[in-house]
DNA sequence: ATTAGGG
DNA sequence: CCCTAAT
């Protein structure tokens, strides 16, 4: 579907998650001859951005705490099986950005448990800003 | 089929 | 988010 339509759905979805009932939302409608997508003969459009909610980050961190880093397939199954827009890779990418922004020692072996202290810091930093 | 990392 | 070499 058209990018702006997806964006609109995004906003509505977010408002619903925030408990709103009768909000009106809108997004700028691009001019009709707008160019988009890769070079050419490709049908797939880039997925619209979905900022992770605090709850999602918490779910991600808690699950990585339980399984260790690297088992994204399992993380998806355990904590994000109810949403189709969070792929195992998205979870991996999110974890990496969290590690970067919170300066958590990243060189951990696959499956190695993360110290609770570090996990807590991730949540704090992400919750505040 | 998944993961790790760069794009 | 996407692309893809490596596993």
Write down the domain spans for chain A.
1-28, 54-128
Nucleotide nearest to A89 (CA to C1'): B3
Six token digits for residue A29? 């409608």
The pTM of this model reads: 0.65
- A51 CA to C1 C1' in angstroms comes to 11
- A28 CA to B6 C1' in angstroms comes to 33
* Alpha-carbon gap, residue A124 to A111, rounded angstroms: 23
- φ, ψ of residue A90 to 5 degrees: the values are -60, -40
What pLDDT band is residue A65 in, cutting at 50, 70 and 90?
confident
Residue A56, pLDDT score: 94
Give the CATH number of domain A54-128: 1.10.246.220
- Most confident among A2-11, A23-32, A53-62, A77-86 (mean pLDDT): A77-86
* pLDDT above 70: residue A84: yes
Residue A34, pLDDT score: 46
Residues in chain A: 129
Residues (59-88, chain A) with CB within 7 Å of strand C atoms? 85, 87
Cβ–Cβ < 8 Å for A71, A80? no
């Amino acid at each position: 579907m058209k990018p702006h339509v997806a964006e609109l759905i995004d906003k509505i979805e977010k408002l619903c998650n925030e408990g709103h009932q009768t909000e009106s939302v809108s997004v700028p409608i691009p001019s009709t001859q707008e160019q988009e997508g890769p070079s050419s003969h490709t049908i797939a459009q880039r997925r619209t951005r979905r900022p992770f909610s605090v709850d999602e980050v918490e779910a991600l961190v808690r699950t990585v705490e339980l399984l260790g880093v690297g088992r994204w397939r399992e993380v998806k199954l355990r904590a994000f099986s109810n949403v189709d827009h969070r792929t195992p890779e998205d979870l991996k990418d999110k974890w990496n950005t969290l590690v970067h922004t919170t300066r958590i020692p990243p060189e951990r072996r696959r499956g190695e448990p993360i110290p609770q202290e570090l996990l807590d810091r991730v949540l704090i930093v992400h919750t505040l800003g």
